[in-house]
Amino acid sequence: MTDKATLTIGDKNYDLPILKGSTGPDVLDVRKLYGDSDHFTFDPGFTSTASCESKITYIDGDAGILLHRGYPIDQLAEKSSFLEVCHLLLNGELPTADEFTKFERNITYHTMLHAQFDSFFQGFRRDAHPMAVMTGAVGALSAFYSDSLNVDDPKQREISAHRLIAKMPTIAARAFQYSQGRPFVTPRNELSYSENFLRMCFSVPAEDWVPNPVLTRAMDRIFILHADHEQNASTSTVRLAGSSGAHPFACIAAGIACLWGPSHGGANQEALEMLEEIGTVDNIPAYVQGVKDRKYKLMGFGHRVYKNFDPRAKVMQKTCYEVLEQLGINDPLLQVAMELEKVALSDPFFIDRKLYPNIDFYSGITLRAMGFPKEMFTVLFALARTVGWISQWKEMFEDPTRKIGRPRQLYTGATQRDYVGVDKRG
Choose which of 254, 360, 390, 394 interacts with ligand ACO (CB under 6 A): 360
- CB 300 to ligand ACO: min, Å: 5
Size of the site for ligand ACO (CB under 6 A): 18
CA atoms within 13 A on the CB side of 222: 34
- CB 274 to ligand ACO: min, Å: 9
Nearest to 73 by CA among 216, 230, 261, 195: 230
Using the contact rule CB under 6 A, the part of the chain among 19-27, 102-110, 248-256, 299-307 near ligand ACO is 299-307
- CB 95 to ligand ACO: min, Å: 27
336-355 residues near ligand ACO, rule: CB under 6 A: 353, 355
Q: How far apart are CA 295 and CA 287, in angstroms?
A: 10
Cα 209 to Cα 14, 110, 177, 203, 370, distances in angstroms: 66, 22, 14, 5, 13
357 binds ligand ACO (CB under 6 A): no
239-268 residues near ligand ACO, rule: CB under 6 A: 263-265, 267
Give the nearer residue to ligand ACO in terms of CB position, either 360 or 395.
Answer: 360
Give the nearer residue to ligand ACO in terms of CB position, either 157 or 264.
Answer: 264
Give the nearer residue to ligand ACO in terms of CB position, either 82 or 287.
Answer: 287
Give the nearer residue to ligand ACO in terms of CB position, either 61 or 95.
Answer: 61
State the greatest distance between any 2 C-alpha atoms of the chain, in Å, as a whole number. 80
Q: Are strands 71-72 and 12-19 parallel, antiparallel or unpaired?
A: unpaired
359 binds ligand ACO (CB under 6 A): yes
Core vs surface per residue 300-333: b (16+ CB within 10 A) or e: bbbbebbeebbbbbbbbbbbbebbbebeeeebeb
380 binds ligand ACO (CB under 6 A): no
Give the nearer residue to ligand ACO in terms of CB position, either 30 or 355.
Answer: 355
* Bridge partners of residue 15, in order along the sequence: 6
300-339 residues near ligand ACO, rule: CB under 6 A: 300-304
Q: Which residue is nearest to ligand ACO (CB)?
A: 302
Give the nearer residue to ligand ACO in terms of CB position, either 246 or 298.
Answer: 298
358 binds ligand ACO (CB under 6 A): yes
Q: Which helix (H) or strand (E) holds 72?
A: strand 71-72
* Beta carbons within 10 angstroms of residue 71's beta carbon: 15
402 binds ligand ACO (CB under 6 A): no
374 binds ligand ACO (CB under 6 A): no
Are residues 61 and 305 in contact, defined by beta-carbon separation less than 8 angstroms? yes
- CB 53 to ligand ACO: min, Å: 23
- CB 341 to ligand ACO: min, Å: 12
* Beta carbons within 10 angstroms of residue 57's beta carbon: 22
Nearest to 168 by CA among 216, 200, 213: 200
Choose which of 299, 313, 367, 379 interacts with ligand ACO (CB under 6 A): 299
- CB 9 to ligand ACO: min, Å: 28
- CB 262 to ligand ACO: min, Å: 7
- CB 271 to ligand ACO: min, Å: 6
DSSP for 91-139? HSSPPPHHHHHHHHHHHHHT-S--HHHHHHHTTS-TTS-HHHHHHHHHH
Residues with catalytic annotation? 303, 360
Are residues 332 and 280 in contact, defined by beta-carbon separation less than 8 angstroms? yes
Give me Rg for the CA atoms of the chain. 23
Residue 312 is given by DSSP the state: H
Is the sign of the CA dihedral 18, 21, 24, 29 positive or negative?
negative
Which string of x and - marks every residue 278-297 that binds ligand ACO (by CB under 6 A)? -------------x-----x
Crossing angle for the helix pair 377-398 and 267-278, nearest 10 degrees?
150
Residues that bind ligand ACO (CB under 6 A): 263-265, 267, 291, 297-304, 353, 355, 358-360
